[in-house]
Structure 1
Amino acid sequence: MALVNGNSVDAVADHGGSLGRASALFPHAPLPWIDLSTGINPHSYPLFDLPATAFSRLPEPARARELAAVAAATYGAPSAANVAPAPGTQILLPRVASLVKPGRALVLGPTYAEHSRACVIAGHAVAEVRDFDALFGADIAVVVNPNNPNGCVVSRRDLLDLADKMRSKGGLLVVDEAFMEVGPQDERVDGDVERGGLVVLRSFGKFFGLAGVRLGFAIAAEPLAARLDAELGPWAVAGPTLEYGIKALGDEAWQQSMCNTLYEDAVRLDALFAGAGIQISGGTSLFRFVRIPDAAGLFAALGERGILIRNFGWDDTALRIGIPGREAEWQRLEQALAAWAAKRDARATEA
């Protein structure tokens, strides 16, 4: 086991989305699986034909610059020079953490586990904290906003105060806005990066439902963005990915329509769970979050019916549920929830 400052860099947490793992847990589950274990949009951006040169030639630098410009306009960054495109935000995490010399990293949690692991890789001593104010004592602070998995949101004002503190002592605040497309737009901090002490991460695949194209962005003050871009090197983003990123990020009509669709889906999902006696306690319109005493029982009951949701080792009462896509998936989920609720109620009556 590799250790840095007493922390393991080997363990990769279960993030959901592994149907191989699901099949091992529930080998007799009916197929096809309904994967509700991620926050990836089931209504993906429409596929379209790509020019053959997107596959046969190295990506043109001008096309990468165009992607950065479209991303800056979409996310509200000051300019394209503030945007470093990458093959997914995952590859950016340890590079961003390395922008600060090894010190004390504090991650506001519970949240996406890869932030802590990336900070360990960068040489930091890492701890997860539950109190936002504790982050002011960090050399590098990490906030996922809206948070995954509970959807909690930290205000822009509080984040900028923290960024100012980080800048004053040569530290860094990393704000992961992977789900901000369906979050409160007034709280995003993409446009504030030139203040310094702040890097914002943006994920393309979740909202656009194209996680497999691997595209993400670091938004930062120009010197930091240039450093990250140089570290990634030429041709960091694949040709087909450039084409999808440019077109989808520039499609404002689709984005607005999808926000409305996902909101309606989230309302429907809340009602479906309420019908089974489960109240939603958080989340976004890309995923919902619940806490119930029998979380393990519900996870197993749905898994045995070929429906994968997300459970958590740090809280055996917590579950995260993604949005179903096709109507048949909604119907299967409703039937599975009804069957679980009937067994629960029968046990309560017997007791």
Structure 2
Amino acid sequence: MADPNEVPIAHGGALSEAVARYGGSASEWLDLSTGISPFTLPLPEMTAECWRRLPEPAEVRRVCELAMRHYGGSVMPVAVPGTQAVIQLLPWLAPNADLTAIVSPTYSEYALSYRRVGKAVEEVHSLEAAADTQADVAVLANPNNPDGHETMRDDIFGFARAHRQRLLIVDEAFADLRQDLSMVGAAGMEPNLVVLRSFGKFFGLAGLRLGFVFAEPKLARILNERLGPWAVSGPALAIAAHAFSRIDLIGELRTRIAKANTMTRSALNMAGVSIVGEAPLFFYCEVGEGAAVRDAMAGRQVLVRAFDHSPSRIRVGLVPDELSAVRLRETLRLAGARVT
């Protein structure tokens, strides 16, 4: 059950806290603490009716159809108010499960959601190790956050088919640029497979709070019942419909992200830090003393993430332009990041 003394988990994007601690104005900071695209898809014009009315079921169905096509799904997904909201509901997909195996280290909210309702959690290093546990549920982020580790699709298929009595939850929040890893097409075909997709990270619209869950109908119904009516706002649906329909803008966004990835990699290499893991939207770096380097960089108004589970490492998001790349490189040097 919930612990009233539970300490909230620290996440990236806490810019206001950094400003309060280290000074400056938000506009002066370079926030590289998240894995969210530094570029935002151009937004459509919004009618007053979009804000005034409750979303119609037909609007939800249309967006879910577009999402199914965009992500390559074989079943209609459940539209959700961000995948974080779904993580809170994961225990209810298998309410009788006593033990959940989570491929770790990873996003901390998975374990917290199970422990909060009194479920046991076992942290393992791979799906293969999860198979050796007595867990009824396995959770995998692919690519993983924060280290970018990738699990091949054949290995995920193998686990799902060999352990049909276990629920397998795959969070593909960072898979938009690695569709070759995606299990979206199998969700619904494999009855024990649930796949989460984030809308905001790739489209640079995390504040919209929108995601999609692909699962067989019984599990989808559980989520819909737990979420209740009008879980996703009308403006979010309108923006998603616009985004999924603009193949040209999606292509431009992919190109800009690829360029930003190259600039960020170059800055890290020139600063002499070692890249030990990565995903298209972030890099995981060995710097010697992660917390110390993070704090020193924050003192120069550049925000990155450090981790208790990997104290020598930081995660760095993508820079938006060449000037920011130079700033990242020089800040790393001044912060005393250990060179390779």
TM > 0.5 fold call? yes
Task: Report the identity percentage.
Answer: 36
Which residue among 293, 305, 314 is the counterpart of 1:319?
A: 314
Asked if 2 retains the 8 angstrom alpha-carbon contact of 1:141 and 1:173, the reply is: yes
Q: In structure 1, what residue type is equivalent to 2:143?
A: P
Deviations 1:75-105 (Å, cap 9, x if unpaired)?
A: 111132xx11011111111323211123110
- What does residue 110 of structure 1 align with? 105
- What does residue 48 of structure 2 align with? 52
- What does residue 222 of structure 1 align with? 217
- What does residue 84 of structure 1 align with? 78
Asked if 2 retains the 8 angstrom alpha-carbon contact of 1:73 and 1:79, the reply is: no
Q: In structure 2, what residue type is equivalent to 1:111?
A: T
> Does the residue aligned with 1:288 lie in a helix, a strand or coil?
strand
**Alpha-carbon distance, 1:143 to partner:** 0.3
- What does residue 39 of structure 1 align with? 35
With over 3 angstroms needed to count, the CA separation of the structure-2 counterparts of 1:344 and 1:29, relative to structure 1, is: farther
* 2:258 counterpart of 1:268: no
1:245-324 → structure 2 map (5 Å cutoff): 245-324=240-319
Asked if 1 retains the 8 angstrom alpha-carbon contact of 2:304 and 2:316, the reply is: yes
> Does the residue aligned with 2:139 lie in a helix, a strand or coil?
strand
Q: In structure 2, what residue type is equivalent to 1:86?
A: V
**Alpha-carbon distance, 1:196 to partner:** 1.1
RMSD over aligned Cα atoms: 2.2
**Alpha-carbon distance, 1:50 to partner:** 0.4
Asked if 2 retains the 8 angstrom alpha-carbon contact of 1:9 and 1:120, the reply is: no
* 2:2 counterpart of 1:2: yes
* 2:114 counterpart of 1:119: yes
With over 3 angstroms needed to count, the CA separation of the structure-2 counterparts of 1:50 and 1:102, relative to structure 1, is: same
- What does residue 348 of structure 1 align with? none
Of the structure 1 ranges 251-260 and 216-225, higher mean CA displacement relative to structure 2 is found in: 251-260
- The count of corresponding residues between Structure 1 and Structure 2 is 335
Work out the CA distance in 2 between the residues paired with 1:209 and 1:328: 20
- What does residue 26 of structure 1 align with? 22
**Alpha-carbon distance, 1:232 to partner:** 1.5
**Alpha-carbon distance, 1:29 to partner:** 8.2
TM-score (norm. length: structure 1)? 0.89
Which residue among 152, 156, 163 is the counterpart of 2:160?
A: 163
Asked if 1 retains the 8 angstrom alpha-carbon contact of 2:271 and 2:330, the reply is: no
Asked if 2 retains the 8 angstrom alpha-carbon contact of 1:95 and 1:122, the reply is: no
Name structure 1 gaps, 5 residues minimum: 346-351
Asked if 2 retains the 8 angstrom alpha-carbon contact of 1:86 and 1:237, the reply is: yes
With over 3 angstroms needed to count, the CA separation of the structure-2 counterparts of 1:189 and 1:344, relative to structure 1, is: closer
Work out the CA distance in 1 between the residues paired with 2:338 and 2:183: 44
> Does the residue aligned with 2:278 lie in a helix, a strand or coil?
strand
- What does residue 349 of structure 1 align with? none
Asked if 2 retains the 8 angstrom alpha-carbon contact of 1:107 and 1:127, the reply is: yes
Asked if 2 retains the 8 angstrom alpha-carbon contact of 1:164 and 1:196, the reply is: no
**Alpha-carbon distance, 1:314 to partner:** 1.1
**Alpha-carbon distance, 1:173 to partner:** 0.5
Work out the CA distance in 2 between the residues paired with 1:313 and 1:109: 13
Asked if 1 retains the 8 angstrom alpha-carbon contact of 2:63 and 2:241, the reply is: yes
Asked if 1 retains the 8 angstrom alpha-carbon contact of 2:260 and 2:321, the reply is: no
Deviations 1:27-75 (Å, cap 9, x if unpaired)?
A: 3689522110000111011123101111111111100000110111111
- What does residue 183 of structure 2 align with? 189
> Does the residue aligned with 2:88 lie in a helix, a strand or coil?
helix
